[in-house]
Copies of this chain bind each other. A is one copy, B any other.
Amino acid sequence: MLKPEILDPQGQAVQRALPRLGFDGISDVRQGKRFELEVDGPVDEAALTRIHELAESFLANTVIEDFTVKVEEVTEAAK
């Protein structure tokens, strides 16, 4: 996501359009990106450290963006 101090014209455009579309009560909208990475093998401490480096150095532009890394289990049924 863009850092809070960085203007987000896309998010603002969405927010301004909402009342016109009948959706009130949303005071702020911010738009960002998400990446889903499928990891071979166990997502252990070492894998997470590498993914954090990858996100910081390659996926996110840390001059203007914040990022978080979350782990989600893939169930057999969802594969």
Taking beta carbons and an 8 Å cutoff, which residues of A are in contact with B?
A: 1, 11, 14, 17-18, 21, 23, 25-41, 47, 50, 53-54, 57-59
Q: How many identical subunits does the complex contain?
A: 2
Interchain nearest-CB distance for A60 vs B (Å) = 12
15 A-B residue pairs with Cβ-Cβ distance under 8 Å, sorted by A, are A11-B35, A11-B36, A21-B54, A21-B57, A21-B58, A25-B39, A25-B41, A27-B38, A27-B40, A28-B36, A28-B38, A29-B35, A31-B33, A32-B34, A33-B33
Contact indicator A29/B36 (Cβ below 8 Å): yes
Contact indicator B41/A36 (Cβ below 8 Å): no
Contact indicator A25/B54 (Cβ below 8 Å): no
